[in-house]
Amino acid sequence: MVAIDDDESSHELVREALSLLELDVHVASTMAAGRCLMEQLSPRILVIDENLPDGHGLDLVQEVARRDPAVEIFVLTGEYSTELAVRAIKAGASDYLTKPITVDQLCGRIQPVVEEIQKRRAIAQADVQLSENFEFCGMLSRSPAMLDVFAKIQRVSRHYRAILVQGETGTGKELVARALHRSGVGDNRPFIACNCSAIPETLIERELFGHVKGAFTGAVSDSPGLFQAANGGTILLDEIGDMPLQQQGRLLRVLQSREVQKVGSSKTEPIDVRVVAATHHDLAEMVRKGQFREDLYYRLTTVEISLPALRERKEDLPMLFQRFVKLAAAEYDKDVKGISRRAQAALTRYSWPGNVRELLSAVSAACMMADRTFLDVEDLPERIRSAKTVEADAQDSDWLSLKDMQTRHAARVLESVQGNKLQAAKILGVSRTTLYKLIEEASAGEESEDLEPALAYG
C-alpha cells in the first residue's frame, strides 16, 4: 500500500498499523512523490492526507479512482465535516478518517478492506477456473439453456445430415455451426460459410452449386460451387430464411439426393456434405405465409437448436466480460485488467438487442479508448450508459419521498459517528457499498444507481 502525508508521525502510525496486517507500506510526503509511487507500484490501498504541501489530496484521490476504481482509498483529515466526507467519497474515497487516530483504530478500518481485497482475488481465480469449466468449442456459458445447447451439439454432431440453428442476430449461430463441425467431422475437414442474404438472387445458384464453361456470358471455365468446396465437411447456410424460393427447391433436391448439378450441366456429382442452416427468422411463420418451402422446413428441422438471447442468460455476463476484456486488451495492447462494478452494473442493466456480438463490440471499443486499468462507466457507449431498468424508470415518478428521507438519515448517522462508515453501516443495517450510494444521493439530491466503484474481477 501507499501512504501520502507530510506528517512524519502519520508515516510511523501507518507503518505500525499495516505491519500488524502484514502489508508492505511505501510512504511519500507530497502529491508529486505519491503520484510516482502509485504509478510504479499499482497498490491496492492508498492512505492520503486531505491537505498536502503541493496540492489538495482529493485531487489525487479523484485521479487514482478514475484510473483504477479497484484501489481502496482512505482520506485523513484534521477536522471532520459531512461536506468534506461527501466530497471525498464522490472523488472516489472508500473511507474518511479524522485525526488523531490510533493504531488500533486504523487497523480496524483497514482490515475489513484487506479481507475484501483477498476475497475479490479468490473470486477472480474462481471466475477463471469457472470459465475454463464452462467453455465448449469457443463458447462460454453456465446458463442452463446454453448448457443444453452444448449437450445437444455433442449428441447429434456425429449423426446429423442437416440441422437448423435458430436465434436472434448476434447469439452465436456460426459458433454453434463450427462446434457441430469440430465435434462431428473434425477441424481437418472443410468448413464453408455462406451468407444467403449477401448473395444476389441472380448469383446464388452458381455460387452454391457451381457452373460449367459456357453456362452464361463470362463463364470461360468450369467452376465448383460452395457445396463442392465443402465436400467431406460442413457448409453453413446462414440466413437461410432469405434464400429465394426457387433456390430452396434446388437445395431440397441436394439434401434428398446428396448430389449437385452445376449450372449449365446435365450431369450430377455426388457430394458428402453436412448442412447447417441458420436464421433469425421464425421459419414456421414464414411457411404459414408461403415465404418458405414447407418440405424444406421439415427436412431442416429433423434436428433443431434454438439459441437464447443474451438478456435470457445474464448469469453469463461476468465470464463474458472477463473473456472479452482479455481479448481486447491483447488486441489493442492496453493494460486493461478488468471492469469496475459500476461498469458491470451498467452492462448488466442493458438489454443487449445485438446479443453477444454487441457485447463484444462494446467491450472492444471501451478497451480501445480506455486510458485506465479498469474500464468504468465513462468508457462505455452512450446507449449503454443511459440504459435504465424498469425499476429505475419507476423511480423517476413522484413517489421518492421515502428515498429522500433515507439519504438524509444516512448522512446524519454518518456525521454522528464522525465518519466511521463501518459503524454507520451497522447502525443503518446496510452494506458499506449501499451507504456510499446513500451519501452520494444526499449530496446530489437525486436518485443514482446502486453502483460500487470497485473491482468486479480481474
Q: Report the pLDDT value the prediction gives residue 416, as an integer from 0 to 100.
A: 59
Q: Is the pLDDT of residue 450 over 80?
A: no
Q: Is the pLDDT of residue 447 over 50?
A: no
Q: Report the pLDDT value the prediction gives residue 445, as an integer from 0 to 100.
A: 46
CATH topology of domain 144-307: Rossmann fold (3.40.50)
Residues 6+ apart with CB under 8 A from 179: 136, 137, 138, 139, 150, 153, 157
Residue 89 grid cell? 467519497
Distances (CA, A) of 29 to 7, 54, 102: 7, 9, 20
Percent of the chain surpassing pLDDT 70: 84
Residues 6+ apart with CB under 8 A from 160: 180, 184, 274, 302, 303
Backbone angles phi, psi at 417, to 5 degrees: -105, 20
Q: Report the pLDDT value the prediction gives residue 454, as an integer from 0 to 100.
A: 30
Q: Is the pLDDT of residue 391 over 50?
A: no
Residues 6+ apart with CB under 8 A from 218: none
Residue 54 grid cell? 503541493
Q: Report the pLDDT value the prediction gives residue 442, as an integer from 0 to 100.
A: 56
Residue among 287, 225, 280 at smallest CA distance from 250: 225
Looking at every residue in the chain, the average pLDDT score rounds to 83
Where b means 16+ CB within 10 Å and e means fewer, 207-227 reads bbbbbbeebeeeeeeebebbb
Cβ(234)–Cβ(280) below 8 Å: no
CATH ID of 311-387, from 2.60.40.10, 1.20.140.10, 3.60.40.10, 1.10.8.60: 1.10.8.60
Residue 8 or 404, more confident: 8
Burial of 186: CB neighbours in 10 Å, binned 0-12, 13-18, 19+: exposed
The CATH 1.10.8.60 portion of the chain extends over 311-387
β-pairing, 45-49 vs 51-52, is unpaired
Partners of 259 in beta bridges: 270
Q: Is the pLDDT of residue 69 over 80?
A: no
Q: Is the pLDDT of residue 131 over 70?
A: no
Q: Report the pLDDT value the prediction gives residue 97, as an integer from 0 to 100.
A: 84
For the chain, what is the radius of gyration of the CA atoms? Answer: 30
Q: Report the pLDDT value the prediction gives residue 414, as an integer from 0 to 100.
A: 66
pLDDT band at 55; cut points 50, 70, 90: confident
Residue 69 or 122, more confident: 69
Q: Is the pLDDT of residue 1 over 80?
A: yes
Could you give the CA distance from residue 197 to residue 190 in angstroms, rounded to a whole number? 22
pLDDT band at 398; cut points 50, 70, 90: very low
- Cell 434464400 locates to 243
Residues 6+ apart with CB under 8 A from 333: none
Could you give the CA distance from residue 385 to residue 377 in angstroms, rounded to a whole number? 7
Could you give the CA distance from residue 191 to residue 238 in angstroms, rounded to a whole number? 13
Could you give the CA distance from residue 422 to residue 180 in angstroms, rounded to a whole number? 53
Q: Report the pLDDT value the prediction gives residue 403, as an integer from 0 to 100.
A: 59
Residues 6+ apart with CB under 8 A from 443: 86, 90
Residue 173 grid cell? 449461430
pLDDT tens digits, one per residue of 328-346:
999 999 988 888 878 888 8
The CATH 3.40.50.300 portion of the chain extends over 144-307
Could you give the CA distance from residue 244 to residue 292 in angstroms, rounded to a whole number? 8
Global pTM value? 0.64
Q: What is the mean pLDDT of residues 159-178?
A: 95
Residue 382 grid cell? 452512450
Cβ(80)–Cβ(409) below 8 Å: no
Q: What is the mean pLDDT of residues 414-437?
A: 68
Could you give the CA distance from residue 341 to residue 359 in angstroms, rounded to a whole number? 16
Task: Give the rounded distance of the alpha carbon of 267 from its chain centre.
Answer: 52
Could you give the CA distance from residue 193 to residue 174 in angstroms, rounded to a whole number? 8
Q: Report the pLDDT value the prediction gives residue 174, as an integer from 0 to 100.
A: 96
Cβ(407)–Cβ(438) below 8 Å: yes
Q: Is the pLDDT of residue 288 over 90?
A: yes
Could you give the CA distance from residue 84 to residue 77 in angstroms, rounded to a whole number? 9
Backbone angles phi, psi at 127, to 5 degrees: -65, -40
- CATH architecture of the domain 2-126 equals 3-Layer(aba) Sandwich (3.40)
Provide the 10 A C-beta neighbour count for residue 236: 26
pLDDT tens digits, one per residue of 186-236:
889 999 999 999 998 888 888 999 888 877 877 878 888 899 999 999 999
Q: Is the pLDDT of residue 4 over 60?
A: yes
Could you give the CA distance from residue 223 to residue 86 in angstroms, rounded to a whole number? 73
Q: Report the pLDDT value the prediction gives residue 451, as an integer from 0 to 100.
A: 31
pLDDT band at 286; cut points 50, 70, 90: very high
pLDDT tens digits, one per residue of 298-325:
999 999 999 999 999 998 998 899 899 9
Q: Is the pLDDT of residue 393 over 60?
A: no
Could you give the CA distance from residue 244 to residue 197 in angstroms, rounded to a whole number? 9
Partners of 239 in beta bridges: none
Cβ(76)–Cβ(58) below 8 Å: no
The CATH 3.40.50.2300 portion of the chain extends over 2-126
